[in-house]
Copies of this chain bind each other. A is one copy, B any other.
């Protein structure tokens, strides 16, 4: 027999140390939206999950019980954070090599490991590694002077893309220079800040693709469908999954390339390979070893979200089914506009379209900043793109009819 008093009297002591004995703790360095969405996946697995945040107001820190505040550039802070974790992984690739080395002295497994991460942090090393293996990339050369850059342009033409060898993301640290004068200004600025630069051929691509795969320490691999990404000012605006009209052979080539890179670089966790599709084939643009903007659609459009997949991979658990759950899915990022009241606009978006999935990141709105994304999954890719774009633009700006 049971009544309310009895229910209360037998209320469980819950989640004791014994029950948690074998539950692993994953720590993620960084507390942006990637860590925030990973924390949602960690809840389903009932693992311990911690984030190393710069501030308690960081996107993931706002929702994650296991938030620790510290500096990802400090080897001491990283070591203290890692001491409570079984596995340490990353929401960004900004951790300096010296701090990573400190982390490597902790007992926690670092996944992906520093040897792999290096190729996301040093674009010159990445280009050299790929080129040595005959993997097609844009032409490139390290440059320090106007003469270097001019010689590169002489071989490959203007515009020339100048990139910071380290530290860039979301279009930061990338300058498309139309002529020698623009290049000179970038070179001068970089020299003043001690930033090493790489010149890259400005590729006349047909479109950009991304191949997202996961790999576990047990060497299992899993590949998501290859997607098309649409960038604007260096920031991902849209992802079309799968890439519309992509030849099956080309899609398989991209998946195999990403799985090969993951294996040869000994990646554990996710690897996103950003690609240029050109008339002559695929070129590797960038690598990321973490959940990636090109994979946000998987939350609402795949059996296994990229966030759960990353956790399964770094925990050396069997990888999840990466199959799509709909014929097509379109993700559009919500960028900050002039009005910070995103929530007030949800009513309009959802009244117009009850099937739009909205993910807001809790970040302060600033013009152009990624503050959320929307995904629509279904049958007709063109219609989905229209719906997702309309919803994202309305949340961003509040000026377009929802």
Contacts and interface: CB of A to CB of B under 8 A. Distances in A.
A319 B364 contact: no
B4 A166 contact: yes
Contacts of A15: 57, 62, 362-364
B341 A22 contact: yes
A235 interface: no
B14 A318 contact: no
B11 A55 contact: yes
A23 B343 contact: yes
Nearest to A4: B167
In the A-B complex, the 6 residue pairs with the closest CB atoms: A46-B360, A2-B172, A14-B57, A318-B350, A321-B355, A4-B167
Interface string A346-389: 11001100110111111111100100100001000000000000
B45 A358 contact: yes
A388 to B, nearest CB: 14
A13 B354 contact: no
Interface stretch (A122-130, A133-141, A187-195, A199-207): A187-195
Contacts of A96: 4
Interface stretch (A36-44, A247-255, A266-274): A36-44
Contact of A40 (B14, B40, B164, B340): B40
A214 B341 CA distance: 26
A21 interface: yes
A232 interface: no
Contacts of A36: 43
Interface string A138-164: 000000000000000000000000001
27 contacts: A1-B173, A1-B175, A1-B195, A2-B164, A2-B167, A4-B94, A4-B166, A11-B55, A12-B363, A15-B362, A19-B340, A22-B344, A39-B43, A40-B40, A45-B346, A45-B360, A46-B362, A46-B372, A62-B65, A63-B65, A65-B65, A303-B377, A304-B354, A312-B350, A317-B350, A318-B350, A319-B350
A94 B7 contact: yes
Given A12-B369, A13-B57, A22-B341, 15 more contacts: A2-B172, A3-B173, A12-B366, A14-B57, A15-B62, A21-B341, A40-B40, A40-B43, A43-B63, A46-B342, A46-B362, A47-B343, A222-B354, A320-B355, A325-B377
Nearest to A190: B1
Chain multiplicity (copies):
2
Nearest to A175: B1
Given A2-B168, A14-B57, A195-B3, A343 B24 contact: yes
A58 B15 CA distance: 8
B14 A364 contact: yes
Nearest to A55: B14
A1 B65 contact: no
A18 interface: yes
A81 to B, nearest CB: 17
B3 A164 contact: yes
Interface string A310-333: 001000011111010110000000
A109 B73 CA distance: 45
A13 B359 contact: no
A54 interface: yes
A337 to B, nearest CB: 13
A7 B172 contact: yes
A5 B194 CA distance: 11
A117 interface: no
* Most chain B Cβ neighbours within 10 Å, of A4, A39, A58: A4
Contacts of A317: 346-347, 350
